[in-house]
Structure 1
Amino acid sequence: MEFVQPLRLRLDLAYDGSAFHGWAAQPALRTVQGELEAALRTVLRLPPEQPVSTVCAGRTDTGVHARGQVAHVDVPPGVVEEAAGRFDSAHDALVRRLNGVLDTDVRVRRVVAAPVGFDARFSARWRRYVYRIVDDPGLVDPLTRGHVLEWPRALDVEAMTEASRALLGERDFASFCKRREGATTVRTLLALSWARLPSGEIKATVRADAFCHSMVRSLVGCLIAVGEGRQPVSWPGEVLAASRRSPSVVVAAAHGLTLEEVGYPPDDELAAQAELTRRRRD
C-alpha cells in the first residue's frame, strides 16, 4: 500500500478561556482542543476512524485566555480543497467554516499550509504572555472583569520591576512550577517587565522560550507580594534559588493571563529549532 503524506496546517486562533477547562482535551469537559478538533472533523467531513489531533504552542490552563495561540494539525491531502466551496481560497473557506461551527468564544484567525519542518510546539522560539491587574477600585471596568485581576491594595510597580531582574535568564524554575514526572523545569526567561498604563491598569509582560505548568501565574503572585510591601525586593530571587515550591508564593488567578504571541524562526530554520527544543535541559 502506498503511503500518502498528510498535509500539515498551521492554525492561528484566539479564545476567551473563561468557559474552558484549559486547552488540553479531557473527557466530558469543554476544552479548546476538544472544540477545535470537533469543528475540524465536521468541516473537513472526516470519517470517525480518521484521527484528528491538534498540537498547540502553549497549553493554557483553565480560565487562561489567548490572542496569539498557534496550533498545527495533519489532515489527508485534498480535504481542504474539497471544503472550499464557493470561496476563492481553500484556506479562507476553512477559516469561515470553522468559525461558523465554533462557538463565539473561540475564533480561528488564519489557516495556512505549514512550511516544511513546522511544529507549533517545538519550532517555537518563545511565547509572550501578558498579565493585567487593576489595583484602584475606582478604575475597575465591569466590561473587562473577566480578563483583568482586581487587586484590593496598591502595588508598587517600580519595586516589582526591580525584583523581576533576578529572575531573568536560563534558570531552574522549580520554585514556580507544578512538577510533572520526568519533565524538566529549566527555562530561559527572556523578559519580565511591569508597566502602569495611562488608564491606571498594570501590565506585566512575560516572555520565555517555554513555560512550565503555572509558571507565569506563580511569578506574578510572587511579585505581587513585593508590590504590596509584604516581601522585600530580594525575595523572588531567594525563592528561585531555593529550587522548591514555597507555600508563601500564591498562584495568581487565571483570568488575568493572556497568551499574546508565539515567535518562530525563519522557515528554513524551523526543523532545526524543533530538534533543539526536543533536547532535554538539566
Structure 2
Amino acid sequence: MSSPAPELLPEGGFTRIRCELSYDGSYFSGWNLQPDRRTVQSVVEDLLSRLMAIPVNTMVAGRTDAGVHATGQVFHFDIAQVDRDRWNLTSLMQIANRLLPDEVRLNSLDDAPHGFHARYSALRRNYRYRFADGFKVIPPLARADVAPWQQNLDIDLMNEAVVPLIGTHDFAAFCRKREGATSIRSLEKFEWSRDSDGFAQALVSADAFCHAMVRSLVGAASIVGAGHAEIGWLGELLNGGDRVGRSLSAPARGLTLIGVDYPTGAGLLERAQVLTRTGVRSLPSE
C-alpha cells in the first residue's frame, strides 16, 4: 500500500513561513525529533511554539545527523493567517534569537512564496567538509567544524578519484541502509581544494543525500588521498555496492550544510510536484 501524497501547499486559511538558520551541531543529536534527546528541531519548535502560543511543526530541507553543523539550513512551518497577522516577522526573529541558545540562530524569517516547500522544492543541498591534515594546528575557535587527519592529503589525487561518482548512481555503498528507502542520488559536485587556512576542503552537492552519505564519500576519498587505496577504488566501491565500513566514515564535526538551492517563481511548485509524483528515483537508461 503506497503512502499518501504529501501536502505541498498550506491548508485553507493558513499561510507558510520560510526560515533559514545556522547551528553548531556539536550540542545536538541531529535535526530530527528523538525521545529524550536534544535535537535542533525540538529546540526550535519548542521556542517558536511558546513564543507564538500556537503549535509549530517544522518541515526541513535536510535532516542533519548528530554533530553535523549548518550555516544555511532551511525549514518552513504553516500557521493560521489570523496568527500570522499578529506578528511582524522581523520582530519575531529578533525575539526568537534573544531566547534561543547560543548554538542556534535564525538567519531569516519571511513569508514563503507561493509553491515553496522546504523539502520538495529544493533543487540541491550543498555541504562543506574540512580536514586539518598533516598535523595542522586547529585554532581553538575553529575546533567545532574542522576534523583532524594526521597524514597529508593529496588534493589532485582525490579530485581525480571522485570523478566516477559524479552523476546519477545507486550510492548504496556510501549510505546506511534504511528499510524502504532508495539510495539512488544525483551527485552534482564533489570538489577538493585548500581553503584560506590551508585545510583540505570538500564541497559536495546533490539533489539529496541518503543517511551518512556525505561523510562516507569524504572518508573514502581521504583514504585515496592519503595513499592507502588506488585511484580507482571509489569507482569499484560504487559499482560493487558493498557498504563502506563505519570506520571509514569521516567524523561529523567537519561537516556543515552550507546552503539549499531552490528554483524561483512557478518553479517552486513544479519542482515539488515532480518529486512527489515520480516517487522512487531511478537510474538513467543505458
State whether TM-score is above 0.5: yes
CA contact (8 A) 1:197 1:203 kept: yes
CA contact (8 A) 2:135 2:151 kept: no
Give the aligned partner of residue 281 of structure 1: 281
Post-superposition CA distance 1:35-81 (Å, at most 9, x none): 110111111112xxxx4210110000000000000000011212233
CA contact (8 A) 2:58 2:77 kept: yes
AA partner of residue 117 (structure 2): D
Secondary structure at the aligned position of 1:78 is classed as helix
AA partner of residue 121 (structure 2): S
Give the distance between the partners of 1:265 and 1:21, measured in 2 at CA. 31
Secondary structure at the aligned position of 2:205 is classed as strand
Out of 270-279 and 57-66, give the one that drifted further: 270-279
**Normalising by structure 2, what TM-score?**
0.91
Q: Which residue among 63, 66, 71 is the counterpart of 2:67?
A: 63
Give the distance between the partners of 1:23 and 1:265, measured in 2 at CA. 24
Q: Does 1:38 align with 2:41?
A: no
Give the distance between the partners of 1:254 and 1:71, measured in 2 at CA. 21
TM-aligned CA deviation for residue 91 of structure 1: 1.1
Change (3 A) 1:176 1:237: same
State the 4+ residue runs in structure 1 displaced beyond 4 angstroms. none
Give the aligned partner of residue 87 of structure 1: none
Q: Which residue among 211, 227, 230 is the counterpart of 2:228?
A: 230
Q: Which residue among 125, 144, 148 is the counterpart of 1:146?
A: 144
Q: Number of aligned residue pairs: give it.
A: 270
Q: Which residue among 194, 199, 210 is the counterpart of 2:208?
A: 210
CA contact (8 A) 1:44 1:80 kept: no
CA contact (8 A) 1:222 1:249 kept: no
Secondary structure at the aligned position of 1:109 is classed as strand
Q: Does 1:19 align with 2:31?
A: no
Out of 4-13 and 120-129, give the one that drifted further: 4-13
Post-superposition CA distance 1:182-215 (Å, at most 9, x none): 1111100000000013421111000000000000
Give the aligned partner of residue 159 of structure 1: 157
Give the distance between the partners of 1:79 and 1:28, measured in 2 at CA. 30
Give the distance between the partners of 2:270 and 2:247, measured in 1 at CA. 37
AA partner of residue 44 (structure 2): L
CA contact (8 A) 1:170 1:188 kept: yes
AA partner of residue 56 (structure 2): V
Give the distance between the partners of 2:124 and 2:272, measured in 1 at CA. 12
- Contiguous gaps of at least 5 residues in structure 2: 1-10
CA contact (8 A) 1:132 1:257 kept: yes
Out of 173-182 and 72-81, give the one that drifted further: 72-81
Give the aligned partner of residue 104 of structure 2: 106
AA partner of residue 76 (structure 1): A
How high is the sequence identity, in percent, across the aligned residues? 43
TM-aligned CA deviation for residue 140 of structure 1: 2.2
CA contact (8 A) 2:16 2:112 kept: yes
AA partner of residue 273 (structure 2): E
Q: Which residue among 78, 81, 86 is the counterpart of 1:77?
A: 81
Give the distance between the partners of 1:104 and 1:140, measured in 2 at CA. 22
- Contiguous gaps of at least 5 residues in structure 1: 85-89
Give the distance between the partners of 1:111 and 1:235, measured in 2 at CA. 44
